[in-house]
């Protein structure tokens, strides 16, 4: 059995964690909105047509912010078609996902849904086919209460200001798949001037500029540098996006692949700081990791469907049915985000409902939890407060594609009121349990309260509407003495150990 010690010293604080680290994302894509959050006529629909069964699960996840309305969708989004009375709602073709958008749910409806879900909206403006003037009109409509055209229009539509504080300057503008793709210079100038003008209108907002669509983009690094050189003074965050996949069916490689987040985050943070120095700025630009998840199960069939059956309304797209190993990968990613919470202030699990999502719905049935629901739930509920580094003395292993992969990954979080310490740990050895010794220093009076784990011998088992095969188990087989807890982490397991002060 592998042996690991996890030393947690109260003095090793990494950072206060921004609650928005546990954000998510809803795009007008597939059945995320229609048949997802919204389905008038469904037995669980409320007076606004929102599915209450979905709202309950979103509330359980305690999501602090939801990015909307895209994604690739936003790059040809005409927001004014999605507001006001039914007769002004234009039906549009969405080029990103080759679907028909009825605009039945728009800005006002989504803001109302967000209020019911207890979450804030992170809004995106279209910098693909539109630009600064349109972003200003949109911001005026959303946030201002002036006697000007768009603020008055919103009032006529019966809404108070939505007060949206976080704005994405477009989406993945480096991607050749993006409608209105730009060079780094073109985009950097546009993001700068748009964020500048938007802040002239409402100086309470924060702006996120697009970083690379993923770390393997050919312009990764040079894109960030150029965009930051242009836009640094007016933006607050630069985005990162990353999806994980196990197309080759190698679980060890899959688990190891998450380490790329360390390099990704460190590199982007270093570029931010280099530009900060070159500009002699006293402002720090941080990271909004506003798309992350596993995404690979449906890619090929979705490409086929979009080719063969284009322009449907709310087609079944990106409906990955997640496995046990996907949940472990997401647990590893959450550990990385907490470890890097000094620079990653916002992160959005992409996405939330039906589309590469922890929550799924049946059109004629209920809502249910995918395997990936659970690590996110645990991190969102127990991962708020300050991140404390774990010094992990662990073995390493090689996989087909990676060398010196740590067996155990762990981080801990001290709750905001200082009474609870939670250790998140993954044993990523697939064939071997690990004996773990957790040593607390500076946590007098803390005793173990509970230990939740996701464990399975079958890496490919998944959940469905009929059966929840992957659910957390509560474990009690540990010893605790003199500030040291001894426990065995099962091979390929996600572990959440909660200590509470007496
Ligand atoms: O989340 C699905 C898609 O992935 C988003 O629309 C896009 O931003 C990314 O490429």
Contact 324, 459 (CB under 8 A): yes
Is the CB–ligand 1 distance for residue 80 below 6 Å? Answer: no
pLDDT of residue 485: 98
291 is catalytic: yes
Question: What tokens appear for 23 in the block?
Answer: 């954000």
**The pLDDT of residue 197:** 98
Tell me what percent of the residues of the chain surpass a pLDDT of 70.
Answer: 100
Question: Can you spell out the DSSP letters for 4-29?
Answer: EEEEEEEEEEEEEPPGGGGEEE--SS
Cβ–Cβ < 8 Å for 124, 168: yes
Residue 353 DSSP symbol: B
Average pLDDT over residues 141-158: 98
Phi, psi of 356 (to 5 degrees): 35, 65
pLDDT at 385: 98
Segment holding 241, helix H or strand E: strand 237-244
Long-range CB contacts for residues 154-163, cutoff 8 Å, separation at least 24:
154/83, 157/83, 157/84, 157/85, 157/108, 158/108, 159/108, 159/111, 162/107, 162/108, 162/111, 162/121
Known active-site residue 109 = no
- Summarize the confidence of residues 184-211 as an average pLDDT: 98
3 state SS for 271-300: HHHHHHHHCCCCCCCEEEEEEEEECCCCHH
Instruction: Work out the mean pLDDT of the chain and round it to a whole number.
Output: 97
Token pair recorded at residue 266: 């460190």
Quickly state the pLDDT bin for 72 (edges 50, 70, 90): very high
Q: What is the pLDDT of residue 239?
A: 98
pLDDT value at position 13? 98
**Average pLDDT of span 411-433:** 98
Question: What's the pLDDT score for residue 247?
Answer: 86
Q: Is 348 in the pocket of ligand 1 (CB under 6 A)?
A: no
Residue 263 predicted with pLDDT over 90: yes
Q: Measuring from atom 2 of ligand 1, which residue has the nearest CA?
A: 71
With bands split at pLDDT 50, 70 and 90, how would you rate the model's confidence at 391? very high
For tokens 């890619």, the residue is: 299
List the chain domain ranges. 3-11+387-501, 18-382
Question: pTM higher than 0.95 for the full model?
Answer: yes
Q: Of 80, 140, 226, 291, which is the active-site residue?
A: 291
pLDDT value, residue 203 = 98
- Ligand 1 centroid from CA 27, angstroms: 8
Closest listed residue to residue 411, CA positions, set 432, 449, 385: 385
Most informative mutation of 101, 181, 350, 351 for ligand 1 (most atoms within 8 A of CB): 350
Say if domain 18-382 classifies as CATH 3.20.20.80: yes
Q: Ligand 1 in contact with 27 (CB < 6 A)?
A: yes
Residue 3 has pLDDT above 90, yes or no: no
Q: Which residues have C-beta within 8 Å of that of residue 10, sequence separation ≥ 6?
A: 388, 414, 441, 442, 443
225 closest CA partner among 181, 275, 191, 178: 275
Q: Which residues contact 218 (CB under 8 A, 6 or more apart)?
A: none
Residue 70 Cβ < 6 Å to ligand 1: yes
Residue 302 CB less than 6 A away from ligand 1: no
Look-up: residue for tokens 């996405």? 351
Say yes or no to pLDDT of 2 above 90.
Answer: no
pLDDT tens digits, one per residue of 460-471: 999 999 999 999
pLDDT in tens, 289-313: 999 999 999 999 999 999 999 999 9
Number of H helices, E strands in the chain: 11, 24
Is the pLDDT at 1 greater than 90, yes or no? no
Architecture of domain 3-11+387-501: Sandwich (2.60)
Q: Judge whether residue 374 has pLDDT over 90.
A: yes
Percent of the chain with pLDDT over 90: 98
Q: What is the pLDDT of residue 246?
A: 97
Please tell me the distance from the alpha carbon of residue 138 to that of residue 170, in angstroms, as a whole number. Answer: 13
Q: Which atom of ligand 1 is nearest to the CA of 97?
A: 6
Atom 8 of ligand 1 has which residue's CA nearest to it? Answer: 71
So what's the pLDDT on residue 307? 95
Residue 53 has pLDDT above 90, yes or no: yes
- Which residues contact residue 28 at a Cβ distance below 8 angstroms, ignoring those fewer than 6 apart? 69, 70, 71, 73, 77, 94, 101, 105
């Amino acid at each position: 059995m592998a042996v690991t010690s996890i030393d947690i010293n109260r003095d090793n604080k990494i950072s206060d964690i921004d609650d928005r680290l546990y954000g998510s994302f809803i795009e007008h894509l597939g059945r995320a909105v229609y048949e997802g959050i919204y389905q008038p006529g469904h037995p669980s629909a409320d007076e606004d047509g929102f599915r209450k069964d979905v709202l309950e699960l979103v509330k359980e996840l305690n999501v602090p912010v939801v990015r909307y309305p895209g994604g690739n969708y936003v790059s040809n989004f005409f927001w004014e078609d999605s507001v006001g009375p039914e007769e002004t709602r234009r039906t549009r073709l969405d080029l990103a996902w080759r679907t028909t958008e009825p605009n039945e749910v728009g800005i006002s409806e989504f803001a109302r849904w967000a209020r019911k879900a207890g979450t804030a909206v992170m809004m995106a403006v279209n910098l693909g086919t539109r630009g600064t003037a349109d972003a200003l009109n949109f911001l005026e409509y959303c946030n201002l209460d002036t006697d000007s055209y768009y603020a008055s229009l919103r009032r006529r539509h019966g809404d108070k200001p939505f007060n949206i504080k976080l704005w994405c300057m477009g989406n993945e503008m480096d991607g050749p798949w993006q409608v209105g793709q730009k060079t780094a210079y073109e985009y950097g100038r546009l993001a700068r001037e748009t964020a500048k003008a938007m802040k002239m209108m409402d100086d309470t907002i924060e702006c996120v500029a697009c970083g690379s669509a993923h770390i393997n983009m050919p312009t990764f690094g040079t894109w960030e540098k150029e965009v930051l050189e242009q836009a640094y003074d007016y933006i607050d965050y630069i985005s990162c996006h990353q999806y994980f996949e196990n197309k080759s069916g190698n679980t060890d490689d899959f688990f190891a692949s998450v380490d790329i987040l360390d390099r990704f985050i460190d590199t982007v943070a270093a570029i931010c700081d280099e530009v900060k120095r070159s500009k002699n700025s006293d402002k720090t630009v941080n990271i909004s990791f506003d798309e992350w998840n596993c995404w690979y199960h449906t890619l090929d069939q979705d490409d086929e469907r979009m080719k063969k059956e284009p322009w449907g309304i709310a087609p079944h797209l990106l409906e990955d049915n997640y496995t046990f190993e996907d949940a472990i990968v997401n647990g590893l990613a959450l550990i990385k985000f907490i470890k890097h919470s000094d620079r990653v202030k916002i992160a959005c699990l992409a996405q939330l409902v039906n589309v590469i999502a922890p929550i799924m719905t049946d059109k004629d049935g209920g809502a249910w939890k995918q395997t990936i629901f659970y690590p996110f739930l645990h991190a969102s509920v127990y991962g708020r407060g300050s991140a404390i580094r774990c010094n992990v003395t662990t073995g390493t292993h090689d996989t087909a594609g990676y060398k010196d992969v740590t067996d155990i990954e762990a981080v801990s979080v001290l709750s905001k009121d200082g009474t609870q310490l939670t250790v998140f740990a993954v044993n990523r050895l697939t064939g071997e349990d690990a004996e773990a010794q957790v040593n607390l220093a500076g946590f007098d009076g803390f005793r173990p309260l509970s230990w939740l784990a996701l464990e399975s011998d079958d890496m490919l088992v998944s959940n469905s509407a009929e059966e929840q095969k992957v659910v957390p188990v509560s474990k009690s087989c540990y010893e605790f003495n003199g500030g040291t807890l001894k426990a065995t982490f099962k091979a390929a397991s996600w572990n959440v150990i909660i200590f509470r002060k007496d």
